[in-house]
Amino acid sequence: MTTFIALLCGINVGGNRKVPMSELCALGDSVGLAATRSYIQSGNLVFCSSATAGGVEAKLEAAILARFGFAVDVLVRTARQWEACAADNPFPEASEVEPSRVMLLVSKAAPSPDAAAALQSRASGGERVVGVGGVIWVHYPAGVGSSKLTPALVDRLVGSKVTARNWRTVVKLREMAGDGR
């Protein structure tokens, strides 16, 4: 069995699209995932499965739609892939000092080749954007809330649905995945 990390897009934000983590873990177990655990309310799961990442994404998306009545994009990576993303963090100094302002952007499909450059061209306030290893990293020195890099703009320039996790969450999910690396 492989250890995976699943990221759910756009749940439990502003009281909308509510998915309690205990119910999400139980739902994962009901579709054949093992040792399903969650981290914080923004939709992060760590689990084991013998299925492929794409197979797990499809199962979880269908189960969430059936159970909660709304569609949720689910992005799944193996623990090894997650470890590689964390190791490739181009902003280690900023991550130490302000871990909530360094974000890993993971996309449903591979980012378009010019996505990082296109985002950097629209960045402001000292924001830095780097594409590495099939993901995009952004350092938001003034915070995400004041950025002009809106979720809709990011999705459009990347070419598919994107979800972001801050450095603290990246590290915690890596720790939770543990021996699955």
What residues have CB less than 8 Å from 78, skipping those under 6 apart? 2, 3, 4, 5, 53, 180
Please state, in angstroms and rounded to a whole number, the distance separating the CA atoms of residues 83 and 90. 14
Regarding pTM above 0.85, the answer is: yes
Tokens of 45: 């799961």
- Residues near 145 by Cβ (< 8 Å), separated by ≥ 6? none
Strand order in the sheet with 135-139: 128-132, 135-139, 102-107, 162-166
Of the options 3.20.20.390, 3.30.70.1230, 1.20.120.1200, 3.30.70.1280, the CATH number for the domain spanning 2-80: 3.30.70.1280
The per-residue pLDDT of the chain, averaged, comes to 92
**Splitting the chain (181 residues) into consecutive groups of 10 residues, what average pLDDT does each group show?**
92 74 91 92 90 95 93 94 96 96 96 96 96 96 92 95 96 86 43
Dig out the tokens for 39 from the structure.
């981290």
The Cα 6–Cα 46 span in angstroms is 6
CATH fit for domain 82-180, picks 1.10.260, 3.40.50, 3.30.70, 3.10.450: 3.30.70
